[in-house]
Structure 1
């Protein structure tokens, strides 16, 4: 009996031990499940928080970008016109010097002995000519312009065409023919007037061609074309463009070298006297140059501002050019003699007289 009970007791103990072990394992598993569930909850909360923050940051960045784009758009719309005006004012600004006319010098009888004659410097704008040539309906502008210049100023058409085509990107050229020693080509008043008349006639004819009926055109064709002006008119769409002039004055002495040491002379551009009365009264005779400005204002309007030149004062001298000329001619006849071959030589008596003067002076 005792042995049977002891076995049962042992079995019960084993069973209890097994149950306790199983219970511990079960408790551990439950604890693990609880911990894992908590960890999952915490991880989910953290992920949610991160997602919310990321969304907030992304939304804030998107809002800032949108606000920046809107600001730039508004700013551009408000300031576009201002910057456009500034750009136009810088691109469309030009100035030129208005040369003052030097005063004239008169003798005691109010006869002009030093005169400023107005001349013009020929200026060509190749860029305007070539751009107009490229416009539809304006083909022939280059040829027409070159013909007008060559005809009015007696210049070579081929040389003009070559200069214009090779300088197509330039707006300002002081045209000088090949072999010309001067840096400018001077045009007289009559030549300029002839060119201006031709330019006005050709360009106004082109305007009429654009507005008049074909009947008016047929009348012009029946009248015939013989002059150079009519030839320009016959070139449909062609215009004379890109030619203008700068004013300049040249000093001219009607009596040539007579009394030249007293009257004096000036530089080539007549801007300064360098001898005689021209130099002594240089400040009074020369005057003050003016200036012409053209630019685009803030309202996109073309503004021209001109500071007019102040011409120089005229001078009345005590020289009597009639008497001076008589004395000069008489002295020339007395001092010089012409032989049978037409050669001029100093008379013997004049040589003796000059030697006597030299002795007296020395």
Structure 2
């Protein structure tokens, strides 16, 4: 039986689907949810990549198998104030061999061995040793290969003849280079393995100079191809210093010339800008080459005399080099590396009179018109303390300027008696004695160490007050005296001494300016101006005549300090001077420890003049047509004279036997030491008897 067409048409109508508005709405909602989901997922991926991308990257590399090598950073440069490079990093290459690849094919082995001999100078025996382990893929054949050698070898490998060379590659690294060798070595310091700075600005600014290593990864991808991933190195910052390489060179040449004329235990020189206490030059006569700081030849001066050899227990310096222990070698090197102007203390002698008079003038205790009668010394309780004029009956009547000109100990003792203990100590502290200068160089003793190295109000008696007035009994560093002297002549502004002016990135952009830090005022402008005139008179009329330089108006102060034990005939001679007098541009401080000629301060003044004569024109310090009528044979200086007439105390320095200066000045042989004012049995003992010794 056949079906009717009408039924078929009805069935077709029933099968037709209708896409309603409600269904469209649902579809849009589902599509929107899917898109939101994708958006959230994308945001999550971005967050994961930002927060944990490196972590997951390492996991992927670990799972896929990879190799990596370090991309070394470049340690920052150190340059002088004029841009002269004082320390820099040079890229070198370590030659690496892969014996397993080299020996695989005889033809390639022959070509590679031939190249190693031609371009790197290896012998057959050396190459055989490198290739002995035929399964190895890493043998360091040569370190520190220069770029020129690498370049020649690479060009050869590109030729037909060199195409068979295999199993040779390089690892890059940097080595520290000091182009000027010994120049400014104590200011710069040096580096040891791992880019660790030792001494000088290399140590103080180690973290700024160092960067961060990068790394290059090579790993197998999903298609078994090699993919490289590089994390670039971040180079260290550069330091722009206040050092002037030309001034430093002049200082070093003049000191070396002086030492050729006469020997000394040590000569140190400090050159500063008095307006802000930036250091232009610093020198110790025992130097080292930072390129090879562990070279024992720099220690030879420690074995020059028979006495030094006997103390060392070695028959000669060569014996010490060959048979000395590692500890003995390092101890000897430590003495060379140590920065005397920063780390060591000594009795400054009469340069200290500058600060005694400055404080008394500031407080109105004395006036420029005051006079003092010098009869050769003062009886202070049970001690007779001498002026260097005592052999000829004293200086007689002197005014205040004359007291400084003639460096009269008697007048200074009278001044400090008027001033009193409290006021005298107030200005010791204001001028920075007994405390750190905070110079940006390592090795300066801490405040707690330095505090006990000068007498203070709570442990100062009549005798210690008297001898402190002219710089005996107190111990200071060159950096302390230099910084204080700048303050005395620059209007009374005490700045922290500094070496680095600014920090820059590798492109020369300024990261940080290190502006001079004004700490405090010490004296008024008027008193400072008065002191400049007094100090000028010292050079033109007094004990500083040997420091004169024709055509320049110079001010300065001599110093002769008797070392411990008293009466041993050993002295530290010094001179600190500046120019021009009305607007000081430079301060030069010379300290000579036990020079051959110890008769007076003239040797230090002479060296100052030699340095100044070369430095002043270079620094464009103007001439004032100043003329000096000086007879070198009869020119007055400050004679080296024992402090005491009669019996001297075994140890009269602040801090007593705990003062590191006691050992440095060979006072170890004394059988008795006192840690209190040598005249006062009722005074308190010297402060801080448990202080640390200065560190290097």
Which one has a larger percent strand, Structure 1 or Structure 2?
2
In the alignment, what sits opposite 1:96? 69
2:437 aligned with 1:189: no
- Indicate how the Cα distance of structure 1 residues 243 and 349 shifts in structure 2: closer, same or farther if over 3 A, else same: same
- The Cα shift of 1:144 comes to 1.1
Matched with 2:135 is: 169
Report the Cα distance in structure 1 between the residues aligned to 2:186 and 2:641, rounded to whole angstroms: 21
Aligned to 2:287: none
1:325 equivalent among 249, 264, 270: 249
Number of the residue aligned with 1:245: 170
- Deviates most, 100-109 or 166-175: 166-175
| Alignment partner of 1:273 is 2:197 | yes
Larger proportion of helix: 1
Q: State the TM-score, normalizing by the size of structure 1.
A: 0.55
2:158 to 200, 206, 213: 200
Partner secondary structure for residue 279 of structure 1: helix
Q: Once the 2 structures are TM-superposed, how far is the Cα of residue 91 of structure 1 from its aligned partner?
A: 8.3
For structure 1, which runs of at least 5 residues remain unmatched after alignment? 1-87, 134-138, 177-184, 206-231, 339-343
In the alignment, which residue of structure 2 is the partner of 1:259? 184
CA change 1:112–1:328 in 2 (3 A) is same
Per the normalisation by structure 2, the TM-score is 0.30
Whether 1:349 aligns to 2:273 is no
Q: Which ranges of 4 or more aligned residues in structure 1 deviate by more than 2 Å? A: 88-92, 344-362
Is the Cα contact below 8 Å between 2:64 and 2:221 reproduced in 1? no
Structure with the larger RCO, 1 or 2 (CA within 8 Å, 6+ apart): 1
> 1:125–1:92: structure 2 CA closer, same or farther, 3 Å change rule?
farther
Is residue 289 from structure 1 mapped to residue 213 from structure 2 by the alignment?
yes
Do the aligned partners of 1:144 and 1:240 also contact (CA within 8 Å) in 2? yes
Where does residue 157 of structure 1 map in the other structure?
A: 124
Q: Does 1:298 align with 2:222?
A: yes
Q: 1:171 to 1:351 in 2, by over 3 A?
A: farther
Name the CA distance, whole Å, in 1 between partners of 2:165 and 2:76.
36
> Residues of 2 paired with 1:309 and 1:126: CA distance?
30
CA shift in 2, pair 1:329/1:95, >3 Å: same
Gaps of 5+ in 2: 1-60, 263-300, 305-593, 605-638, 644-652, 654-660, 666-696
CA distance in structure 2 between the aligned counterparts of 1:358 and 1:94, rounded to whole angstroms: 73
Which residue number corresponds to residue 432 of structure 2?
none
| C-alpha RMSD over aligned residues | 3.3
CA distance 1:266–1:175, shift in 2 (3 Å):
same
* Matched residue SS, 1:140: helix
Aligned ranges 1:1-362 → 2 under 5 Å = 93-131=66-104, 133=105, 139-164=106-131, 166-175=132-141, 185-201=143-159, 205=160, 232=161, 239-268=164-193, 271-337=195-261, 348-349=596-597, 353=603
1:358/1:172 CA distance change after superposition, 3 Å: farther
Deviation at 1:272, TM superposition (A): 1.5
SS at match of 2:196: coil
- 1:336 is paired with a residue whose SS is helix
Give the C-alpha shift of residue 158 in structure 1: 3.1
